[in-house]
Amino acid sequence: MSLNERKEFVSLTKKYMEDPKVRQLEGYKAHGKISVFSHSLSVAETAYKLNKALKTGCDLDVLLTGAFLHDYYLYDWHDARLFVNVFKMHGFTHPEKARENAVRDFDVDERVQKVIRCHMWPLTFRSFPSSREAMLVCLADKICALKETVLRW
Ligand SMILES: [Fe+2]
Ligand SMILES: [Fe+2]
């Protein structure tokens, strides 16, 4: 990321980086030892870089808000008691929970809600990422999850 890109990225994500509600994500584990906050920041950076590299022309506010809040579900998914049955497992249900929380706390618009709702596609098969922003966050999330679990970067 160039210096100018870094400045742009910071200016667009500052409000989430500094928000105490978002900082709660530091207390939840995503993959391995990585917190949901660190994971969300990585997804935002990766989505930003993909958008620049692929010249996708995304709305950066939608892209980065969606990336930062895509896992804003605010619970510990390692708690097995939350798994009521196989169809209610974390992977299937957390996008909707994150979307609800993002609407409640940040009043995000429909475009951002789509990014959050569709980020687990194709697992959540009917929630296809049918916008450029949703597609890039879906891809960035998988790249980051792979790095954090398999490659342990
Ligand atoms: Fe997720
Ligand atoms: Fe994620």
**What rounded mean pLDDT belongs to the chain?**
91
Question: Length of the chain, please?
Answer: 153
CA 100/CA 36 separation, integer angstroms: 17
d(CA 115, CA 143): 16
Return phi, psi of residue 35, to 5°: -80, 160
Determine the distance separating the centroid of ligand 2 and the alpha carbon of 10, expressed in angstroms. 20
**Mean pLDDT to the nearest integer, 44-66:** 97
pLDDT of residue 125: 87
Task: Indicate the Cα dihedral angle 76, 79, 85, 91, nearest 10°.
Answer: 40
Q: Report the pLDDT value the prediction gives residue 118, as an integer from 0 to 100.
A: 97
Q: Give the number of whichever ligand sits closest to the CA of residue 120.
A: 1
The per-residue pLDDT for 88 is: 62
- Sign of the torsion formed by the C-alpha atoms of 6, 12, 18 and 20: negative
Q: What confidence tier does 80 reach under pLDDT thresholds 50, 70, 90?
A: low
Kindly report the pTM of this predicted structure. 0.92
Q: How far is the CA of 108 from the centre of ligand 2 (A)?
A: 18
Q: Which CATH number fits domain 3-151: 1.10.10, 3.10.20, 1.10.357, 1.10.3210?
A: 1.10.3210
The strand pairing partners of 24, in sequence order, are none
Measured from the alpha carbon of residue 95, the closest ligand is 1
Rounded to the nearest angstrom, the distance between the alpha carbon of 63 and the centre of ligand 2 is 14
Q: Are 141 and 44 in contact (CB under 8 A)?
A: no
